[in-house]
Amino acid sequence: MLSKKTQYAFKALTYMAEQKNVGPFLIAEIAEKKKIPLKFLESILLELKKAGILNSKKGKGGGYYFNAEPNSISLAAVMRLIEGPIALLPCVSLNFYEKCGDCNEKKCGLNKIMAKVRDKTLGILENQTIADLVTQ
Q: pLDDT tens-digit profile of 92-126? A: 888 888 888 877 877 888 888 999 999 999 999 99
Q: What is the DSSP string of 100-122?
A: -TT--TTT-HHHHHHHHHHHHHH
Among positive and negative, which fits the CA dihedral 75, 78, 82, 85? positive
Cβ atoms of residues 30 and 8 within 8 Å: no
pTM score, whole prediction:
0.87
Q: What gap in Å lies between CA 72 and CA 78, rounded to an integer?
A: 12
Q: pLDDT tens-digit profile of 6-51? A: 999 999 999 999 987 787 999 999 999 999 999 999 999 999 999 9
What's the chain's Rg over C-alpha atoms? 17
Please name each of the domains of the chain with its CATH number.
4-66 (1.10.10.10), 74-129 (no CATH)
